[in-house]
Structure 1
Amino acid sequence: MPEMIWMEEELRALASEARERTLRDTDAVPGRPGYVRRGGRILLNLSSNDYLGLSQHPAIAEAIREALAAGCGAGSGASRLVTGSRTPYRELEEALAAWQRSGAALVFANGYMANCGVISALVGRGDVVFSDRLNHASIVDGIALSRAEHARYRHNDMAHLRRLLDKHKQARRKLIVTDAVFSMDGDAAPLRELVQLKREYGAMLMVDEAHSGGVFGPRGEGLCHALGVQADVDVHIGTFSKAFGLYGAYVSGSPTLIRWLTNKARPFIYSTALPPALAAGLLRSLMLVQTEGAHMRKRLAESSARFRADLREAGFAVGEGDSPIVPVIVGDNAAALRFSEALEAEGIAAVAIRPPTVPDGTARLRFSLSAAHTGEELADAAARIRDIGRRLGVLTG
């Protein structure tokens, strides 16, 4: 089709800059959540967000089977506001609200829809959203959909945020939005300082715990609870696709907030509900996060600290933080791709992250660890990463 030629031209430009993405079949390895199968080979998986290794937990699979056998159905058949609101959702939301010690909770199809739906329901024209420059794309897109003014502050720069709040202090509504743990850098937001600014300027505060839920907090509630600031967070977002090992997302907050979102969050209103059996599996996963998750979180924290230290000692430019996300900055797109390919040849799955996901000139290997990995596996992986880095010239020392 001649009218589509522009696509081919743009794709060629992406390929020339080592920025084109392609899909590759990658299968689970039954009984080994820390590994994947690709091209007939089993690889150590250092790119997954399965932080607690729950994606293959037998109790979760059994809960889903039980729900299906009980006749709850493979699909909901409609939006929850039509005929699709089933008992498993209510039970899950009640358990989420109790876990978060909030008044209520609401389940969304995924984190992208949750962020887009919540932000566009809370603010609009005449309002201002103050957003960290490294926030997830779903937050950026939610702000665009809301039609509110987007005031981006430099990453974790509270002085810059204060200046922006001063500039827009007369705005009708002010919403501060941040990731708790940043997905491509692995560092944490200064939540205590954000709470202080929120109070001072009369703003709402929304925190996305996608990469910290299940990982931090006494019962895996997230970084807000770990720091004791949860009561000052107006909107708490979390996902089930990472530490929970499944799919979906939730919002927790006051009963008034949840009533408002039920009536105003378009991705919730106009989407068919998650499969009811999945909701039953999510409820089981939530119980595991709170019970079995304690020793998993301890092991994950220790493994992450050791792995980060090993790579830093080898001479890599490793991002700061204490999360299981350990980025190694390479810089050049093509060099990051070569590094990823060399790692796969050595039995390690580690994806090269390139612009626009990260800023230009900061292409990286984003290593993402799991409690399913043993200390020995990670020590061996760190040694292989070091050797390959030297061979490719990423390490020169």
Structure 2
Amino acid sequence: MSLSPDRIALLRLISAGGAAGPRRQLLQDCGTPAAALDAGPDVWRAAGLTPPQCTALRRPDPVDARVLAWLDDDARHLLGWHDPDYPAPLRRIADPPLALFVDGDPTLLWHPSVAVVGSRSPTPSGRENARDFARAIATSGLCVASGMAAGVDTVAHEAALSVEGRTVAVLGTGPDVPYPPANAPLRDRLARAGAVVSEYVPGTQPQPFHFPLRNRILAGLALGTLVIEAAERSGALITARLAAEAGREVFAVPGSIHNPLARGCHRLIRDGATLATSATEVIQALASQAALLAQDLQIRLDAPIHPVQGREATVEAGLGHGDADYQTLWHALGHDPTAMDQLVERTGLTTAAVSSMLLLMELDGRVFSQHGRYFRNR
């Protein structure tokens, strides 16, 4: 499969390096990567590109064959700043990436998510908390985002996968380079069942400065960041700070005063983070922010769920590929509260699919929940 001129041009813009801001401005001014590349040095300089960046764009260097080979797969995607599929939450952070390489489902980057982060060497209770919080968040229909690092990140991703929930990993390496290397099988599972995301080109090896930069993407994609366990100086606290600076919610799980890995969480709570003792508290606190993404998500998934005039208790049909499943779930719901496992059994859908659709129906006002049971809005 050959890449389009726009994709080739975007790869050349990425390889020019330097500050991303001027290249974002160039894309915004010109509309497409190919037009930006054809615009020439005067337009490049007017957008703020530096002489080294202009020199790099003038060179007719071929795009790395390894990158082209990686993109030669329908399951892999390249989303540039100009692209309508570029995730809306990231556009609102201070320094959005110029582009994202995605291995897996790119629509997950639009889904309301919670970043679950913490120590690379958590205590046993920290691991249990990471698993329990992530599992409950995923079951609720929200996406669990993390960085695929050892410890809390790994536990959070695996917990979401265990309930067939949505999960996204944001890497500080190329999207094809697992770090730590022991997480290679997890990276592959995430690519198949979720999404693996990076601003670095395929093949990029780990560098210490990549990971703090990675954290801004993780914090920017998520509606909120939940810190499970963290020392007073840790990458998790960097993610929490970046989340707060981006106007996102920050939650911290308290711990024993004798646990050094609880000190970072206690500091966050002292500084204004929300103390979280259950996943329900996190989910409820983010409901209003999730509603802001609901309309964009419905459009992106072609899954309208608005009522039709003159037809009681139905879902508008025939407007998108997701409608059949929504109809099935709607008819499985009654006016009496129904448990999740009963809805899964009635519909034949996965728990993750039912959870996701119920979330959208709740945000749309079509469904209410009560003590973990769901019913139609009376």
Q: TM-score range by the shorter chain?
A: under 0.3
Q: Which has the higher contact order (CA 8 A, sep 6+)?
A: 1
Using the size of structure 2 for normalisation, the TM-score is: 0.25
